[in-house]
Amino acid sequence: MNLLLCFSGQIGSGKSSVSTAVACALGWRRGGFGDYLRGELTRMGGNPDDRKALQDLGQARVASDPVAFCSDVLTSSGFLPGDNFVIDGIRHVGIFDILAKICKPTQARLLFLGALEATRITRIAARADSQDFERASNHEVEAELREALPQRADGLIGADGPLDRIVADCLDMVWRWRKDQP
């Protein structure tokens, strides 16, 4: 079974770090919604480090044409149906459902990284946009990360510990999924 391994989690949960390490461990390619949006903002002459601009652009793409948005992200990342691939930045149940449809015959699975707010704040503190954490966490694009996505996820991963443990937990889940499939 080939997988499109999708990562979701609140700001500071470790999505980018974990998904990058998991992709490396598996030998799979990786892309992300944030990576795509940063590229789009740059192309439009905007600041790719402006979290509000990233969130606004992402929400606008979700609202206007979510299927095209998902296709653009997958295409720009180099995904081809049938590939094993890792993608991060899933912020809407509907976006995951679209990815699951358009990635066939690859099977999409959603991992939600759950981290305590204290952990997330500590991780964000080192970032240039740390002062924007509260506003960013309450942006409408983040709304489904509190309940809907964790409930929809195929796997919940505790993301408060060291990176190597979190990555090992993700890999264990991937191996279980692949073992359980014919």
132-162 in b/e form (b: 16+ CB < 10 A) is bbeebbebebeebbeeebbebbebbbebbee
Position 136 pLDDT exceeds 80:
no
- Is 13 exposed, middle or buried, given 0-12, 13-18 or 19+ CB atoms closer than 10 A? buried
Find out whether 46 and 26 touch, Cβ atoms under 8 Å. Answer: no
- If one counts the domains in the chain, the total is 1
State residue 5's pLDDT score.
Answer: 98
What is the mean predicted confidence (pLDDT) over 117-136? Answer: 82
Which domain, by its residues, includes 89? Answer: 3-180
State residue 59's pLDDT score.
Answer: 93
State residue 73's pLDDT score.
Answer: 97
Rounded mean pLDDT of the chain? Answer: 93
pLDDT tens string 36-88: 999 999 999 999 999 899 999 999 999 999 999 999 999 999 999 999 999 99
- 3-state SS assignment for residue 107: strand
Find out whether 47 and 76 touch, Cβ atoms under 8 Å. Answer: no
Please report, as a single letter, which amino acid is at residue 147. Answer: E
pTM to 2 decimal places: 0.93
Give the CATH number of the domain where residue 19 resides. Answer: 3.40.50.300
How far from chain centre, in Å, is Cα 93? 12
What is the mean predicted confidence (pLDDT) over 141-157? Answer: 93
State residue 182's pLDDT score.
Answer: 56
Position 155 pLDDT exceeds 80:
yes
Position 23 pLDDT exceeds 60:
yes
